[in-house]
């Protein structure tokens, strides 16, 4: 199996391959106005990414995007069954929580589609005649974000929405992914230094990039097996900011969009605080300036994945191994399959 860092570095090829994927059982679903995207872990963040993009840039499409990372179909959605399209995302196709939600949607006769590489979800969706985007097998879910994201995007296109702007941005980004490698290397080295010095690590952004901040937390948990904190402004300015004081040996990794006024405002504040606080470090993770919002989101996710896998390898940790996650799945699978 390829090293995890090399899988991330293949995102340029992955984006192009994903854009060429077909939809099985394809049909138009023009009447739907609510999209609920369900998934867990590396598959679950897909709904967050798409929700955020619609929230920031596609609010005039008059489609509500909701995302859920749990084993339940929200009861309030049952009142909107005729307007609802559920997208179940599970890379393996055997995620117990996602299968449970998919089956509940079938019981409620809710229109649904799936993005998966196979497993029980693929088999059940095939029998149901549901639209399916089948992605390449053999990857870790968290490293296959381009496949899963673009697969879900293709599902949303069934509602009659034009996603060409997003797809064009991703195609353009695929030509520049490698330009993010030096920054990813630098972030990895800074994190390694902080871990060795037993420093507190916090990833911070504005609300516009809260999903990217969360991606850093989950990637560092799975790949590096290390807990990092996150904080998002403006809310962090009303509570968390008081923890940026001497005595806590804090390193701030700020996800910075240099051309966004709010992001620049918060960066200026953090610089002021770091200058007056003796043991506070501020490390900038600058997103590409002349790129679209979706490209910046993907860039942040790429840096999170690559830097965490590099740091893990250099600290003698296998970034691919997730024994406790397997233990969790084995422990809860029967419950979610039978309740």
For residue 62, is pLDDT > 90? no
In a domain, 226, yes or no: yes
CA distance 298 to 77: 30
What the block records as the tokens of 280 is 């506070």
| 187 and 306 share one domain | yes
Secondary structure letter of residue 24 according to DSSP: B
Express each pLDDT in 196-226 by its tens digit: 999 999 999 999 999 999 999 999 999 999 9
In a domain, 262, yes or no: yes
What does the angle CA 162 – CA 139 – CA 4 come to, to the nearest 5 degrees?
110
In a domain, 328, yes or no: no
pLDDT for position 162: 84
Q: Could you write out the three-class secondary structure of 181-217? A: HHHHHHHHHHHHHHHHCCCEEEEEEEHHHHHHHHHHH
CA distance 166 to 276: 42
56-65 contact pairs (CB < 8 A, 24+): 56/208, 56/293, 57/293, 57/294, 61/161, 62/33, 63/32, 63/33, 63/34, 63/35, 63/156, 63/159, 63/161, 64/33, 64/34, 64/35, 65/35, 65/37
| 50 and 99 share one domain | yes
| 16 and 146 share one domain | yes
| 199 and 298 share one domain | yes
For residue 189, is pLDDT > 80? yes
For residue 195, is pLDDT > 60? yes
The predicted model gives 321-336 an average pLDDT of 96
Query: Which residues make Cβ contacts (< 8 Å) with residue 329, sequence separation at least 6?
Result: 96
| 81 and 27 share one domain | yes
CA distance 79 to 21: 33
Handedness of CA 32, 159, 155, 29 (dihedral sign): positive
Domain assignment of residue 56, given as a range: 4-171
Radius of gyration of the chain (CA): 20
| 70 and 218 share one domain | no
> Are 114 and 89 in contact, with CB atoms under 8 Å apart?
yes
In a domain, 324, yes or no: no
Q: Which residues of 268-281 are buried (b: 16+ CB within 10 A; e: fewer)?
A: eebeeebeebeebb
In a domain, 12, yes or no: yes
Comparing 53 with 57, the larger pLDDT belongs to 53
| 21 and 152 share one domain | yes
Q: Three-class SS of residue 92?
A: coil
> Are 254 and 285 in contact, with CB atoms under 8 Å apart?
yes
| 153 and 202 share one domain | no
| 132 and 248 share one domain | no
The count of domains in the chain is 2
Beta strands (DSSP E) in the chain are 34-38, 64-68, 84-90, 111-116, 132-134, 200-206, 229-233, 250-256, 281-286
| Last residue of one domain, picked from the residues 156, 171, 186 | 171
Element (H or E) spanning 98, and its range? helix 96-107
What the block records as the tokens of 335 is 């419950």
CA distance 275 to 271: 6
- What's the whole-model pTM score? 0.96
Comparing 28 with 206, the larger pLDDT belongs to 206
pLDDT for position 37: 98
| 196 and 151 share one domain | no
pLDDT for position 59: 60
**Residue tagged 């296959």 (tokens):** 144
Distances (CA, A) of 134 to 21, 92, 128, 150: 8, 11, 15, 11
| 246 and 141 share one domain | no
In a domain, 114, yes or no: yes
Express each pLDDT in 70-98 by its tens digit: 999 998 998 999 999 999 999 999 999 99
Express each pLDDT in 233-286 by its tens digit: 999 999 999 999 999 999 999 999 999 999 999 999 999 999 999 999 999 999
pLDDT for position 61: 67
Q: How many beta carbons lie within 10 A of that of residue 71, not counting itself?
A: 19
For residue 60, is pLDDT > 70? no
Comparing 165 with 212, the larger pLDDT belongs to 212
In a domain, 308, yes or no: yes
pLDDT for position 1: 55
Report the CATH number at residue 259.
3.40.50.10490
| Last residue of one domain, picked from the residues 171, 190, 220 | 171
> Are 267 and 284 in contact, with CB atoms under 8 Å apart?
yes
> Are 283 and 251 in contact, with CB atoms under 8 Å apart?
yes
pLDDT for position 264: 98
In a domain, 38, yes or no: yes
| 154 and 12 share one domain | yes
């Amino acid at each position: 199996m390829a090293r995890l860092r090399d899988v991330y570095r293949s995102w340029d090829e992955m984006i192009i391959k994903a854009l060429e994927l077909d939809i099985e059982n394809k049909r138009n679903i023009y009447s739907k106005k609510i999209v609920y995207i369900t998934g867990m872990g590396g598959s679950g963040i897909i709904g967050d990414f798409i929700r955020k993009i619609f929230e920031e840039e596609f609010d005039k499409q008059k489609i509500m995007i909701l995302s859920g990372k749990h084993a339940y179909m929200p009861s309030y959605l049952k009142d909107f069954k005729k307007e609802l399209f559920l997208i179940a995302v599970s890379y393996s196709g055997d995620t117990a929580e996602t299968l449970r939600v998919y089956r509940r949607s079938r019981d409620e006769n809710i229109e649904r589609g799936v993005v998966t590489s196979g497993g029980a979800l693929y088999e059940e969706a095939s029998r149901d005649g549901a639209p399916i985007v089948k992605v390449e097998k053999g990857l870790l879910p968290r490293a296959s974000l381009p496949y899963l994201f673009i697969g879900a995007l293709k599902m949303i296109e069934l509602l009659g929405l034009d996603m060409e702007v997003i797809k064009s941005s991703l195609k353009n980004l695929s030509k520049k992914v490698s330009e993010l490698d030096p920054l990813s290397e630098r972030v990895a080295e800074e994190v390694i230094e902080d871990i060795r010095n037993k420093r507190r690590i916090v990833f911070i952004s504005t609300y516009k990039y809260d999903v990217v901040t969360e991606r850093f937390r989950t990637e560092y948990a799975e790949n590096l097996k290390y807990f990092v904190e996150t904080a998002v402004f403006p809310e962090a300015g009303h509570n968390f900011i008081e923890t940026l004081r001497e005595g806590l040996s804090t390193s701030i990794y700020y996800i910075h969009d240099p051309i966004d006024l709010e992001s620049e405002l918060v960066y200026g504040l953090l610089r002021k605080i770091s200058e007056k606080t003796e043991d506070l470090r501020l490390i900038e993770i600058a997103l590409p300036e002349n790129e679209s919002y979706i490209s910046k989101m993907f860039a942040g996710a790429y840096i999170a994945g690559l830097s965490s896998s590099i740091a893990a390898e250099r600290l003698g940790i296998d970034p691919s191994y997730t024994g406790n996650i397997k233990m969790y799945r084995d422990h809860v699978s029967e419950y979610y399959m039978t309740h």
